[in-house]
Amino acid sequence: MQPLSAAELTAALPRDGSLPGYSVTGTPESSTDGSTSDPDVRPEACRPLWDARAGASATSVARAWVSISPSGFAPPTESLTFASYDSDGADAHLASLDKALDACPSLSFLSRYGDRVTADIERVASQVTLGDASVSFRMHWTADLNGLKSDTLSLITTVRTGEATVTAVSDSSVGSQLSASKKRAFMPKLDHDMLKSQADALREAQER
């Protein structure tokens, strides 16, 4: 079976009005360059996790992504990325995430202001049981801009369906008034029904 092309992945992405409870807030984009994210991620062994948050994968044949926004007050920032792989590539991609999670309780990256920021990482066990396999984890970091601190909590979930994956990323900003213990306990919510619908869309695209 040939891996899905960028055009086929794009066609499988949701359109506005097709995802109950959500708005599609951007125009779908795609890539076939297998690019990765920030080259300044440290340690290097943790790069697959930061790439996953950015919707990137060095081993994918093609990717397509779009921004979505759930209905409600102050919704988190969310994105969906579909990616296709050569034979056994999707399974190897999830294995690389598993390996990185075992090795990386934290990683650091450069912020857009050039500051090095450390993100704590936590595997989220049993967050989702969809598709053929799945990996879910949370990142938490605090950015300091001229003494003004802001916390970001990011939930990243990748589900494999055949030789393709769907990655859902949800970024939530947490107010500085929350205690450190509450920030540590805060978990962005994952919409299982939404993610199942997208995993099903990927499976259907591969069966055409």
Query: Which region holds residue 55: left if phi is over 0, alpha if psi is between -120 and 50, else beta?
Result: left
Q: Which of 1-10, 119-128, 194-203 has the lowest mean pLDDT?
A: 119-128
What percent of the chain is modeled with pLDDT above 90?
Answer: 62
Structural contact between residues 197 and 19, judged by C-beta atoms closer than 8 angstroms: yes
Confidence of residue 14 (pLDDT cuts 50, 70, 90): very high
What pLDDT score was predicted for residue 36? 65
What pLDDT score was predicted for residue 136? 93
pTM of the model: 0.91
Higher pLDDT, 183 or 49: 49
What pLDDT score was predicted for residue 49? 96
Confidence of residue 145 (pLDDT cuts 50, 70, 90): confident
What pLDDT score was predicted for residue 127? 59
What pLDDT score was predicted for residue 204? 96
**What is the average pLDDT across 126-154?**
83
User: Strands, E, within 26-146: which ranges?
Assistant: 29-31, 62-70, 77-84, 106-110, 116-123, 133-145
Is the model's pLDDT at 185 over the cut of 80?
A: no
Q: What is residue 45's DSSP assignment?
A: G
Q: Could you tell me the two tokens for 181?
A: 């213990």
Is the model's pLDDT at 129 over the cut of 80?
A: no
Q: Please write the tens of the pLDDT for every residue from 32-85.
A: 977 666 668 999 999 999 999 998 888 999 999 999 998 876 678 899 999 999
Q: Would you call the peptide bond into 70 cis, given omega within 30 degrees of 0 as the criterion?
A: no
What pLDDT score was predicted for residue 76? 81
**What is the average pLDDT across 83-103?**
96
**What is the average pLDDT across 147-152?**
80
How far from chain centre, in Å, is Cα 53? 4
**What is the average pLDDT across 136-157?**
86
